[in-house]
Amino acid sequence: MKCDCYHTRTKTTYLDPATVSYMTGKWPENNGKIESEVGVCLGTKEREECDCGGDKTKCTFYPEKRRTEPVESESSFENTNHEIIEDPIVFDPIEDILTSKYIDPPMRELVYWFNKCGFRTLWCCYGHTEHQKCYIIFSPENNDKNFEKLFQIAYKKHKLSFGSFSKELRMNNDFTEFEPRWEWTALTKDSEIYFMKSSLEEYYKLT
């Protein structure tokens, strides 16, 4: 069953060459620039990466697509636990993040600390399956220098155990142009969330 929402795009990740050289003893090829082809689901607001390969029966975002028969219930994945939001929500005060139904519970404290430290977030996801990464996508208005400072603090405290940062082009909310946006991702979710939150607390003390 082919899925029309499945597409691919080129993802560019920039590794810090000095860090890679320090960890491996070798200077990385292309100065740390890595390009890879990844699948994305256009059926999600934030164009999440997807590994279904275009097969509806392997969909990880919408359980009803995996069924072979029509679903009689009108309830859907979006209007139960993962309601689709057309535009990013502005939390005022930011403490509302800690109880928001729109943020996965394991991510709330981390998203709160990012915003408390001045890093405006747009979307986040804890990962719908055990093997999917969790991520936070940031607003393009954020300052690159602040991310560099945060990375230095996190690396000093936890080496490379706090997840990873990358910057790539993403379509804006109006689908009219591409914007460069930072993204934080983690594969070993809970531990990297903990170390990242710890780094943000240190960042907050120093700023």
Q: Which residue has the tokens 């990375």?
A: 151
Per-residue model confidence as pLDDT tens digits over 51-81: 777 777 777 666 555 444 343 333 333 333 4
What tokens appear for 38 in the block?
A: 């990844």
Per-residue model confidence as pLDDT tens digits over 122-167: 888 888 777 788 999 999 889 999 999 999 999 998 887 899 999 8
Q: What is the pLDDT of residue 62?
A: 64
Q: What is the pLDDT of residue 1?
A: 62
Does the pLDDT value for residue 50 go beyond 50? yes
Between 65 and 185, the higher pLDDT residue: 185
| Domain range annotation of the chain | 1-71, 86-207
Q: What is the pLDDT of residue 148?
A: 93
How far apart, in whole angstroms, are the C-alpha atoms of residue 168 and residue 189? 21
Return mean pLDDT, the chain. 78
- Closest residue by Cα to residue 61 from 51, 72, 71: 51
What tokens appear for 89 in the block?
A: 């929500």
Amino acid at 193: I
Q: What is the pLDDT of residue 45?
A: 61
CATH code for 86-207? 3.30.1360
Between 48 and 64, the higher pLDDT residue: 48
Q: What is the pLDDT of residue 121?
A: 93
Phi and psi angles of residue 95, each rounded to the nearest 5 degrees, phi first = -60, -20
Does the pLDDT value for residue 83 go beyond 80? no
